[in-house]
Structure 1
């Protein structure tokens, strides 16, 4: 296999077309999707592939499917509460599970993902594994644990995903990462994931971790993600660095991670070239290498394109996390 460039790795994660690249192609491509909306909210909340819309066991009066305008609308009253909208969504998903309509629903997690109206207003929520069927924005945190070695420079703690994990099995991963459930804020989520996945105590995280930005991209799922191919997954990832002492050893804390290894920058870069990383984790690592001055405009010819592609403006309403 030919070595992958950093831009190719970015393109594996941010792989939904851009309108400005080819407006005519983009307009044709969008005919493959229905817009997902909620009655009383004018904003489009996600994109659903036409074949997904055709398969769903829509419940009369709960949903309006307009195939001519390609819009699917959850038909709660315009002033309905989030709980009412949630109940409508739950009935639909329960029926889809009963009929075994979608393979992706086999990964049911009993975790709820939020959906926001413009202005960051909480609109409703849905089961995590169903979110790609509706193409809504999902939120998560990713963190890179690292040490500063006097002889070898920066060394990163790299995880190997479990061989039995439903999504991206056996691929390389960041030190810790995870999705943000309804009501969760980035910092609290990062503390939880650091403890659950990498055995990093809360006190260590609070002392050593630093919020270093946010990354956005629009991912079209492939076979490695599990379930149906072609589902859409626009994501917002809050990123943290954790500078650890050399004697702090990262160990798996659950069955999702096979092991951790402490790798030099050269080892990490070689594994990126070989395509060993989960796509969005590769994006986070490339961002780390840029922020720490390892990848620069002088040695990375696609530097500007990489920065742009990892901070994409997503076309749906977004959260506002204010404590």
Structure 2
């Protein structure tokens, strides 16, 4: 059975250092940095194997082996940085170089620049984000019902078993990636309709923003594609209390079923390793905020709280 710290270690599984983000410099001995024009960077960490396999066009990419840095150079060509990245990933997909690109989404993820800028530096295909090791963003919501007999009960979906990533595992009530130009709450409204058939009015009236959960994940085989790719992430988290009459239903092919479980049932599923790693982390954050997980009943409480809010190495919006 997994402990709560085991669950954190499975999600936030890049080595954790108490000294803070400066310890990410240890990555530079094994990874390459993604740089962009008009930015201090880096904006992503790339595995050596990815750099060796990617079909770089040296007319539009600056590859510095000494500094171990990669940068698109639009001044050498008529394309923008984003177009250079897109064409490179499309070529890699056409040539079947990376398994992860089989899950091509036609969905763009932002790469954010300096903290003072609200606009992303560039956008790239979601399926290629882990190849470049950029920060990615999403929304996760826990929907719950307060019952007089059994106390709080949580709606838990099971991911479709044929889903490329973490097929058949348990998830948060609603979750999804944040695309370029999308605001977190609007993304939540969309995902809630698609995944749980929740009405827009219900979500807008009842969903409450509850901060973020951030972690640095190293993908394993369950994530689909190559294992070992780097995926730092920040999730905007929401809670939504609903009445017993509201029953979520799968609205697309990504969710197989929903279960209404007591807190103890959710805890047992967590301990059994049934949840997708980042969904387990979001549920632990929910338990902490609700006073279910405390310093009195969890010996690793301080480390768990810290690890749920890791300082990521790249600029965030």
Give the shorter-chain TM-score range. over 0.9
Point out 4+ residue stretches in structure 1 off by more than 4 angstroms: 19-23, 25-29
Q: Determine the structure 2 residue equivalent to 1:234.
A: 232
Displacement, 1:19? 4.4
| 1:84 alignment partner, one of 73, 80, 85 | 80
Confirm or deny that 1:269 pairs with 2:254. Answer: no
> If the length of structure 1 is used for normalisation, what is the TM-score?
0.93
Confirm or deny that 1:254 pairs with 2:260. Answer: no
Q: 2:24, 2:313 within 8 Å by CA — same for their partners in 1? A: no
> If the length of structure 2 is used for normalisation, what is the TM-score?
0.95
Q: Determine the structure 2 residue equivalent to 1:114.
A: 110
Quick one: distance in 2 between partners of 1:18 and 1:5? Answer: 17
Quick one: distance in 1 between partners of 2:282 and 2:193? Answer: 19
Q: Deviations over 1:209-231 (max 9, x none)?
A: 11111111000000110000110
Q: Determine the structure 1 residue equivalent to 2:57.
A: 59
Q: 1:40, 1:77 within 8 Å by CA — same for their partners in 2? A: no
**Structure 1 residues without counterparts, runs of 5 or longer:** none
Displacement, 1:76? 2.1
Quick one: distance in 1 between partners of 2:178 and 2:25? Answer: 32
Aligned residues: 315
Alignment of 1:197-236 (within 5 A): 197-236=195-234
Quick one: distance in 2 between partners of 1:31 and 1:68? Answer: 11
Q: Determine the structure 2 residue equivalent to 1:124.
A: 122
Q: Deviations over 1:256-296 (max 9, x none)?
A: 11100000001000000000000000011111111111111
Alignment of 1:1-323 (within 5 A): 3-20=1-18, 29-77=27-75, 84-118=80-114, 119-120=116-117, 121-319=119-317
Displacement, 1:99? 1.3
Quick one: distance in 2 between partners of 1:255 and 1:68? Answer: 46
Q: Secondary structure at the match of 2:90?
A: helix
Displacement, 1:77? 3.6
